[in-house]
Amino acid sequence: MSTQPKYATQGATHRRTESAILEGTKSLISQFGLSNISMIEIADESEVSRATLYNHYRDKNAVISALIAAEVEHMVALANKAGTPADALEALSLYISADLALAAMRIHDQGTLTSLLAHADHPLYLEIARCLYGATKSEPGTGIAMRWLIGQVMQPLSAKQSREQAELLVDRTLF
């Protein structure tokens, strides 16, 4: 018999299921773009029943919102683990530039991607800005870094370019 309370294991199962749904969704977006997937395909790719999917998320927009929130949380953690401001910017740049879901959206969903990037008052946008401010300690530097990163969503950089430009931003702009 388990020594954990019944609800602790239910919570863990709930988190694993949501994680599987988000991973499955990102995988589908990477292959087909956002506009070309359905809730049925998300359930199939995530290996959950449709009922389970709908118990967790009311519709595709809710799944996408949760996926974006998880991605932002991951990006903030990456930046916070970095040693220097240049390291933080480089880590974010590399993550954005290598993301296969963003690559597919550049092909299939340019309008949606542009619209998502235009919401500077969105709480998740502000969360990334706060993270960058923690690294830069500069409001103007934060704004410049945010615009630099947003540009990479549409025009990714190589690893070398990411490092060079991150260092340049820190050396010439942020401090």
- Which residue has tokens 């540009």? 151
Q: Is the confidence at residue 99, as pLDDT, over 60?
A: yes
Give the residue-averaged pLDDT of 82-94: 94
Nearest 10 degrees: Cα torsion 106, 54, 10, 18: 0
> Per-domain residue ranges for the chain?
6-174
Spatial distance between the Cα atoms of 143 and 83, rounded to a whole number of angstroms: 21
Q: What is the CATH number of domain 6-174?
A: 1.10.357.10
What is this structure's pTM?
Answer: 0.87
Q: Are 167 and 150 in contact (CB under 8 A)?
A: no
Spatial distance between the Cα atoms of 49 and 65, rounded to a whole number of angstroms: 20
Q: Is the confidence at residue 129, as pLDDT, over 70?
A: yes
What the block records as the tokens of 23 is 């991973």
Nearest 10 degrees: Cα torsion 157, 101, 88, 166: 10
Q: Which of 18-22, 133-137, 140-144 has the lowest mean pLDDT?
A: 133-137
**pLDDT 10s digits, 143-152:** 999 999 999 9
Q: How far apart are the first and last CA of the chain?
A: 58
Cα dihedral across residues 107, 110, 34, 113: positive or negative: positive
Amino acid in position 22: L
Chain centre to alpha carbon of residue 115 = 15
Quote the strand ranges of the chain, DSSP E: none
- pLDDT above 70 coverage of the chain, percent: 92
